[in-house]
Amino acid sequence: MQLLAFDDISVITDSGERRGSIINGIAKQGDIRDGKVTLYVQSNYFHESDSLMINIGAVQAVPKGEDFIEVDFATKEVLTKPDFFDWAISVTSNHVSVAVNKWDNGDRLLRLFDGVKEDGTTLEFEGYTISRDEEYVIETAQFEEYDGKAKIYFSYYFNPIGKNIELNIPLQ
């Protein structure tokens, strides 16, 4: 499985104090696809704890090799997409839009920030817009002008492979 995201991470001290994920600001560093990511919580200070409990609300993942949409910006068409990905996708000269049913993805965004050209170089990300109505969240990612094929990776898909995971870390 390709891990995409960790939902609702918190750290609980031995005294029961809970430190949640950062809500407004940088919550992680690194790329989970590279196998190394640093996740941040609200505070980096834990006074005299003998242990910490890490709680992960859910781990989201999809089968390896099925975490992207392949598009052709020249012909403005979707070339491949995962079988489970049944939402409407549209392609323009440098935009990819996906209309996601709100209840299909837990009202979470796909986060289409990463693109790779067919020669393996990075497709530069330039911006992102979101619109909503009663039924859909429409995410549109804008990339550099490019007249070729590219893989657009998504960073979230609601498919929990584990829920309410607790890891106890002794500190002494």
**E strand or H helix at 134:** none
Buried b (16+ CB within 10 A) or exposed e, 137-161: bbbbbbbeebeebbbbbbbbbbbee
Distance CA 7, CA 111 (A): 14
pLDDT tens figures, 62-90: 999 999 999 999 999 999 999 998 899 99
Residues near 75 by beta carbon (within 8 Å), at least 6 away in sequence: none
Residue 134 reports pLDDT greater than 80: yes
pLDDT tens figures, 6-65: 888 888 877 777 777 665 555 667 777 777 877 777 665 556 677 788 888 899 999 999
Classify burial at 105, counting beta carbons within 10 Å of its beta carbon; exposed 0-12, middle 13-18, buried 19 or more: buried
Q: Is 154 helix (H, G, I), strand (E, B) or coil?
A: coil
Distance CA 31, CA 106 (A): 22
Note the pLDDT of residue 48: 67
Tokens, residue 75: 């012909």
Question: Where do the domains of the chain lie?
Answer: 2-62+160-170, 68-153
DSSP letters spanning 22-55: -SSS--EEEEGGGTEEEE-BS-S---S-SEEEEE
Note the pLDDT of residue 21: 67
Note the pLDDT of residue 64: 93
- Rg over alpha carbons for the chain, rounded to the nearest Å, is 19
The model's confidence at residue 161, banded by pLDDT at 50, 70 and 90, is: very high
Residue 39 phi/psi, 5° resolution? -110, 135
Full-model pTM: 0.81
Residue 46 phi/psi, 5° resolution? -130, 115
Q: What percent of the chain has pLDDT over 70?
A: 88
